Amino acid sequence: MITTKKINVLICAFIAVLFFSSCESDDPEIEPLNQLAEAPLPISLEELKEKSFESSSFSSNKALGDNIATWGTVEGAYFEKQGNSVLENPNQGSVIGTFPISLEGINYTYITNVSNNQLIALPTWSINNLALAYIQNTDTKAWLPYMEVRYAVQQSSNFEIEFSSLTDRYATARWDRTAFAGFRYDIFLQGEKIEENLNDPRALYVFRRLEQDTFYAVKIIAKSDDGSLRIRYVSFRTPKAITISNFDMTLNNISTNGLSISWTAPVVTNTSELEYRIVVGSKQFFTTETSIQVNDITPISLDIHVIVEAIAGNQLYSTRLAKHSDFRLSGQPVEDNSISFYAYQASANQGIARLEWNPPSAPDGKDFNYAVYVNETLYAQLPKDVNAIDLYLYSDVNPYDSVSIQAIFANGTSATSRLTIITEEF
């Protein structure tokens, strides 16, 4: 017979077994990959229909405001909420799906693929963390794991972009290189994707082939390998094109050490600011006049190059148009193109180059001499009977040099042989 004492012992033993069994069942189970024990599930279809009907008047008037809600994937695809819809942007390709929002619940935003009437539940219960999105089985109506996304809410202004070099044809966008190291970018212009997964460590992009005086809407998406996103909406307007008409340049009063330069004033559009940059040999000047006198020219070459460059611009950008010419100071020999002779490099060794040439025939049959120029600088003067020279250059920066050998005749004319030499051994 079971006594009261034995019954009490059995009851205590049974309670102890229940206690230890309960403790074992409280141990966390190993969840499948990408699933968390505390992750809520989407609501049922019946509940979704009921809540969608109840909140339809509210959802249809809900505005996005300054916040941007996104769901990014590790692969690079992402969802972006825009008003009452969600855009799906693939990692590759320009096809973009637009899904109306059926319900913005506590834990999920529910969208509908109108092409097949399939529901997708995008998680909102965990911000800035990877969580499962679900898709509805069209046959069983059950929720199935769809993809892992990272939900985030941001403001466009958190992604700072500055524009520089804004002209009538192009614009350069720049952003923080350090903050976005390792990111890749999708870039939209006027709603069209023009760059996909751009990987540029310079953190900039140049918009080219733009139209003048045109408003452009830009969207730049910075994507990281962990599904994090930054989206920036920005716009700019290109200025009107600044144009400079053609103009003429004249060289006058050339003396032994100077000359005067004049030019016609070009017609400029869309700006009143115009100045000129003048370069004569190694001298440079700026002026707003249409003529200039240049004196004290030290000839460092046979032919002196002249540039007159018109510069028209405003606070945004400038346009340039240049005219070029060459001249020789008075007293310099005039080049006779009917006379020619051939100079060549015979050898080179450790910075020493040997040149040789066949002498030309003087047009007047008289004696003449030579002037040797290296990189437009006078290097040596030689008599008629010397037909070779060793150039001691020792160039560590550039082993190539431009050489001119000028034969100067007694009648005031000259002939020149030009070549490029190398100072390394060959």
34-79 pLDDT, tens per residue? 444 367 888 877 777 676 645 443 333 334 446 899 999 999 999 9
Which pTM value belongs to this model? 0.64
Tell me if 313 sits within 8 A of 282, measured CB to CB: no
Residue 73, C-beta contacts closer than 8 angstroms, at least 6 positions apart: 91, 147, 148, 149, 150, 227
Task: Output the CA–CA distances (angstroms, integers) from residue 366 to 349, 369, 372, in the order listed.
Answer: 36, 10, 20
Paired strand residues for 198: 185
CA distances from 368 to 14, 382, 411 (A): 128, 9, 9
Written as tens digits, the pLDDT of the chain (426 aa) is: 444 444 344 344 444 444 444 443 333 333 333 444 367 888 877 777 676 645 443 333 334 446 899 999 999 999 999 989 999 988 888 767 899 999 998 899 999 988 888 899 999 999 999 999 999 988 888 999 999 999 999 888 889 999 988 999 999 999 998 889 889 999 999 999 999 999 988 999 999 999 999 999 999 999 998 989 999 999 999 999 999 999 999 999 988 889 999 999 999 999 989 999 999 988 899 999 999 999 988 765 667 889 999 999 988 889 999 999 988 787 778 888 899 899 999 887 777 889 999 999 999 888 899 999 988 788 899 999 999 999 887 655 566 788 999 999 988 889 999 998 876 665
How far CA 5 is from CA of 13, 14, 370, in Å, comes to 13, 14, 134
CA distance 27 to 48: 33
Q: Which residue has the tokens 């008003």?
A: 83
Give pLDDT tens digits for 239-268: 999 999 999 999 999 888 899 999 999 999
Number of other CB atoms surrounding residue 173 within 10 Å: 21
